[in-house]
Each structure stands twice: as C-alpha cells, then as structure tokens.
Amino acid sequence: MTGDFNIRDNDWDPNYPHHSVHTKDLLTLAKSLGLDLSLPINPGPTRFADNLYDTNSVIDLAFINPNNSGFS
C-alpha cells in the first residue's frame, strides 16, 4: 500500500517535531491489513515546498507485508 497520506509525523520524518493525531489510525489500518511501514534506504523529503513559508516534508509512505520474501 503506497501513497500520499498527507500526514506529517516524526515517526517517518525526523525533521518534523510532532506526532500527528492521524498516525495511530493509519498504522492500525495498515496492521489490520497485515502491513508494516517500510522505511526508505535513502531517507529524505517526498514533498518539496513550492513557497518560502512551507518546509519540505515526508508524506508519501509505503507499507509492505513483512512476511513477503520479495521484500526482504
């Protein structure tokens, strides 16, 4: 399961100082589907700000089945 979840959280973006109220719901949904958050090999922003008042962020996430041998 991949996509732009539009949830900023320091669980996947160490530059963001807060936890989102939606993180628990997203992780619970993923777990109910047998999926875990996949952390990137090369971490960094997935959304780049288009103005000086916003910051780059990580909002595009991927969840995988940890038991799938293709993802080891």
User: For 10-66, how does the pLDDT look when each residue is reduced to its tens digit (9 = 90+)?
Assistant: 988 888 888 899 999 999 999 999 999 988 777 888 888 898 888 888 888 889 998
Identify whether the C-beta of residue 44 lies closer than 8 Å to the C-beta of residue 13.
Answer: no
Identify whether the C-beta of residue 11 lies closer than 8 Å to the C-beta of residue 5.
Answer: no
State the pLDDT confidence band at 9, using cuts at 50, 70 and 90: very high
State the total domains in the chain.
Answer: 1
Cβ atoms < 10 Å from Cβ of 18: 10
Residues of the domain holding 9: 1-72
Q: What is the pTM of this model?
A: 0.76
